[in-house]
Structure 1
């Protein structure tokens, strides 16, 4: 659900993780303050803020019993937290991803930085309760910050459970998700009539359908928005293969196509956080860089769309 690794047009990872983090945090004094500022947005329901770049886990963390993959994934997670990341999103739908998250969190730690978000993806009240409790054990967390109903599955049943769990303090926020355009009409009705804290949907510079009704509605209803599939499952990078990043991208502190795509998303006023997924440290470094510095304004966003569509 949450985007893919992108093997092209990304800046190379230089040196060790330690060296990169040191270079980032110990930047020269002459570096503009804007380039060092972590961008955060508020959750409308409470005013609590989140960094605009989160971490998705679909596909990338579904490594099953491949123990050899864990050291690299631990570096990825360490880089995420090292650059101010907080929100990690997963689902029982993602195979072994939740179990892997638990192992990685145990390896690298997170202090109080983690904003844990997952989903319920089954039918029936008791099955949903068992699944959510199983997810909590896999992650090794005391409670989830955000529990979402995945792809609207049996949403009427799970909505009651989530509201009860929130009232009891078992979760902090409630949400609902979709990654399929065919669910947009039903999702719109849910957002109009139900009380939710978050909605998660697909949105990117190529697929802007959510701009028409869902994003304005979420803003009107006071719901935070998480965005999945920011790279259209890699299609955006295939489209810009061999193309130069426009020079004017520097005006909003953008140095790569990946940052171009992410900054477009999080600069929408209704979007709270985008959740790209990756299993590579260099891609994580690049993703996280999009969460610092300036964001494009409305006029620049229109310019970005026009440039991308001209390629």
Structure 2
């Protein structure tokens, strides 16, 4: 993430960058905050791991894979479980699968989410079979219809796969504000198990109608683009962490941005992507300690207004 490193505010984070001691420290904390998936009641830790761009490396490149293995170790030791990927993310599925194969016992504690992004059932099934192979699992926790491509038809396919026990949950995704009206209508009509959508302290459109619709219809919510592709870090470049951060146990801007999202009652989990173990440790800390209420979220938003 551009300029992210300079925003790691704690002395401990600075001292432990890139070390396994960071992961061990996280493992000694109380459990990460978790939220219930409305469709089942299953608890899902609030900090997940995205893989877009960051996990798109050659699985055979040991130098490229080494920091990603540390990211996954740090994520797991912090109590995270949800890994979100997609066939359209290049090698991300294959990298995720390879890393899980190298970590005995980790696979059984991982909530694997991927996507389909194609027209027609036959083409979708080819993608799903490829995802199963790349991820090394015949059974996947969540498959999402990506970016509203053939949504209604593909939801029907995914529901059939859910009935067969091939997947556990079905969902829909998008990453931009212009899709929120259509997503709201789909949530109200189709009631998928999950919705994945963009939300951040600088992009709050989802709060108007979409997130309330998810709450009213029992839809779990995953949040992508929590840092607006690095724009939030650029916006606060040179700014000291505000005093209000201490009121919710934040020691970095990243934690503040993530807790702003977690503080919305409709949000089940947020899925920041990173290829850096230190950033993963910093992100994970947002799942611990005090969380903001509505008034605090407004105070955080005012910092960037």
Q: When the two structures are superposed, what TM-score results if normalisation uses the length of structure 1? A: 0.92
Farther off after superposition, 36-45 or 77-86: 36-45
Counterpart of 2:126 in structure 1 is 130
The 5 A counterparts of 1:211-290 are: 211-290=207-286
Number of aligned residue pairs: give it. 299
Contact residue 5 and residue 278 of structure 1 kept, 8 A: no
Shift of 1:303: 1.0
Match status 1:53 vs 2:47: yes
Distance in 2, matches of 1:58 and 1:303, equals 30
Any idea what the Cα deviations from partners look like across 1:207-231, whole Å, max 9, x if unmatched? 0000001000000010000000000
Contact residue 8 and residue 237 of structure 1 kept, 8 A: no
Q: Which ranges of structure 2 fall in alignment gaps of 5 or more residues?
A: none
Counterpart of 1:85 in structure 2 is 80
Counterpart of 2:4 in structure 1 is 6
Any idea what the Cα deviations from partners look like across 1:179-225, whole Å, max 9, x if unmatched? 12222222121111113100000000000000001000000010000
Shift of 1:108: 2.1
1:197 pairs, out of 185, 188, 193, with: 193
Distance in 2, matches of 1:185 and 1:25, equals 41
Shift of 1:7: 3.5
Counterpart of 2:291 in structure 1 is 295
Shift of 1:26: 4.7
| Distance verdict in 2 for CA 1:288–1:166, change over 3 Å | same
Distance in 1, matches of 2:14 and 2:128, equals 37
Any idea what the Cα deviations from partners look like across 1:74-99, whole Å, max 9, x if unmatched? 01111110110100000111011101
Match status 1:120 vs 2:116: yes
Contact residue 55 and residue 91 of structure 2 kept, 8 A: yes
| Distance verdict in 2 for CA 1:305–1:120, change over 3 Å | same
Contact residue 148 and residue 176 of structure 1 kept, 8 A: yes
1:42 pairs, out of 36, 39, 43, with: 36
2:57 pairs, out of 59, 63, 67, with: 63
Contact residue 3 and residue 233 of structure 2 kept, 8 A: no
Shift of 1:295: 0.2
Counterpart of 1:31 in structure 2 is none
When the two chains are superposed, the root-mean-square deviation of aligned CA atoms in Å is 1.6
Contact residue 2 and residue 233 of structure 2 kept, 8 A: no
The residue matched to 1:14 in structure 2 has which SS? helix
Shift of 1:4: 7.3
The residue matched to 1:232 in structure 2 has which SS? coil
Shift of 1:5: 8.0
Distance in 1, matches of 2:3 and 2:121, equals 35
| Distance verdict in 2 for CA 1:4–1:93, change over 3 Å | farther
Distance in 2, matches of 1:4 and 1:118, equals 26
